[in-house]
Amino acid sequence: MNLLSSRYSEWKAPAEDGQILIWPDPAELLRDTKQNHDRLSRASDVRVQGIRLSELRRRQREWIGHRDDEQLLIATGHQTELSHPGVWVKDALINSIATKLNGAAYHIAVDTDAPKHLHLRWPGESIPITDDPALLTAAWSGAVDAPTPAHLARIESDLARAMQSWNFRPLLPEVLNSLRRLSLETPNVSNAVTNATHELDWSLGLRHHSLVASPIWMSEPFLVYIHHVMARADEYAAKYNQALAEYRTRTGTRTPSRPMPDLFCSGEACEMPFWLDDLATGKRVRPSVFRRDNEWLIELVSGAEFKFDPNAPGWDAADALKKWLVANNVRLAPRALTLTMFLRLALVDQFIHGIGGGRYDQVTDRLIELHFGLEAPRFAVTTATLVFPQAVGQSRVCLPCVLEEGHRLKHALLGERKMQLVGAIGSAPRRSVERARLFSTMHRELRDAAKTSPLITKWHERVEQTRKRESEEGVLFDRELFYAIQPRERLESLINRYNSAIL
């Protein structure tokens, strides 16, 4: 079952403010969602550590509180960050689909990724959302503390000063109000940001659930999945690397580390696509398993080890692995492909990606086919563009255009003399001394003319002014500012676009 390249699209973020991208088209997306549910709920022939995939799905969905086997579950996920509108609209889409299909929408906030995009930015300012110094060093965002009230007060003061020159009211003060309360109730920045943005989304009419991911990684169905992969380490790594190789060939990708590196695997050791997190020290490593007596085992620095038996009953294997992890205060957290593969197979009926996630999950599709012998459930992609509100209706400077204008000006300075020299160069024998002399003469005369030309002097001034304005516009036209920097009506307009497309 080889995936055809035509199944996917060359997704590009919209260039125009307020525009959205939905792939595939809404009618096909809705069909895919229902078909995914039907096929996965009947996938009794696919086994994960001896457990039917359909049973694993039922147990994982029950674990998060979703007990209706027939109700569709539409989800998206992203690392816990200050998401820009192009990421946030994934939540708008899952809500529209859930409403249309009478399903449930879930946002999974991945707090086991490295801290990233946790600075509030607007023209002239960039402030970290928390004053915990661990923001710069923590291995995962769940290890970073929530902001102190004093830090939030500083942000509010800086924001109030900036807003005096704005012609709109952003929603950011509402998020900061939520964070002020939550920072005293929640232990880390991931929980605080997730809950604060969920409150904002609720005020905008969105009704998805928000789940922080880390507790899922200790659920029994996920531990069954871990055990299954590690008990078949060499087989899984080979298919993982094959899926990556096929993707690179199909897309012409020459960099061996893109979209992610291969898993190292020899006859005696195999790297696994997880993080091994030491919850006591806050440090993590990429774990490997080692072959011993025809089984694969993981070993900690302390000497504690766990053997993965491919024949162990799934729930027993998960229970034993959980006890070992708890006893040693460690966690196995999934990396990118492994994370979305588990969610798409064992939890959701439709998963919504951004453009980046859609690209790497093409590899996931092939890995699902290779390892489980199952046609991969279809995913969807969406994004949108919203610039800083005061940039709406403004034209952006074009530095390349100004530079090209200067090129034309310089070569017009000699007038007819330039054409005479070009003609003489063309008549001179190629690679001859005469041709080189004429070429040098032409460029010397062009340089001399430029030194005294008032047109060129004015052009240099325009270049400097354009460079300065381009720098100033960097944030103004940046589509990756936190979505709460927008006013309510612009976010509601995007939500309405999605509702119009789906409902």
* Chain segment 129-185, per-residue pLDDT in tens: 999 999 999 999 999 999 999 999 999 999 999 999 999 999 999 999 999 999 888
In this structure, the strands spanning 269-271 and 380-384 are: unpaired
- Tell me the percentage of the chain whose pLDDT exceeds 70: 99
Three-state DSSP class for 104? strand
Task: State the pLDDT at residue 398.
Answer: 82
H-type alpha helices, 13-66: 26-41, 53-63
pLDDT band at 476 (very low <50, low <70, confident <90, very high): confident
50-85 pLDDT tens trace: 999 999 999 999 999 999 889 999 999 999 999 999
Burial 18-51 (b: 16+ CB within 10 A, else e): eebbbbbebeebbebbeebbeebeebeebebbbb
Query: Which residue type sits at 328?
Result: N
Q: What is d(CA 125, CA 135) in angstroms, rounded to the nearest whole number?
A: 18
Block residue for tokens 């949108």: 384
198 contacts 108 by C-beta, under 8 angstroms: no
- Between the alpha carbon of residue 431 and those of residues 191, 419, 439, the distances in Å are 70, 20, 11
Burial status of residue 353 (CB atoms within 10 A of its CB: 0-12, 13-18, 19 or more): buried
pLDDT digits (tens, 9 = 90+) for 211-234: 999 999 999 999 999 999 999 999
**In 3-state terms, what secondary structure has residue 68?**
coil
Return the sign of the alpha-carbon dihedral for residues 131, 211, 172, 93. Answer: positive
Reported confidence tier of residue 274, pLDDT bands at 50, 70, 90: very high
Three-class SS state of 64? coil
What average pLDDT does this structure show over 93-119? 98
Helix (H), strand (E) at residue 192: helix 189-203
Q: Which of these, 295, 204, 229, 210, lies nearest to 483 by C-alpha position?
A: 204
Q: How many residues does the chain have?
A: 503
pLDDT higher at 96 or 460: 96
111-127 per-position pLDDT tens digit:
999 999 999 999 889 99
Is the model's pLDDT at 397 over the cut of 90? no
Cα dihedral angle (61, 64, 70, 76), rounded to 10 degrees? -90
Question: Measured between alpha carbons, how far is residue 49 from residues 167, 274, 460 in Å?
Answer: 59, 18, 69
pLDDT given at position 6: 55
Average confidence (pLDDT) over 460-489: 86
Which band of pLDDT confidence, cut at 50, 70 and 90, is reported for residue 4?
very low
Q: Determine the pLDDT at residue 187.
A: 83
Confidence of residue 209 (pLDDT cuts 50, 70, 90): very high
Whether the pLDDT of residue 3 is over 60: the answer is no
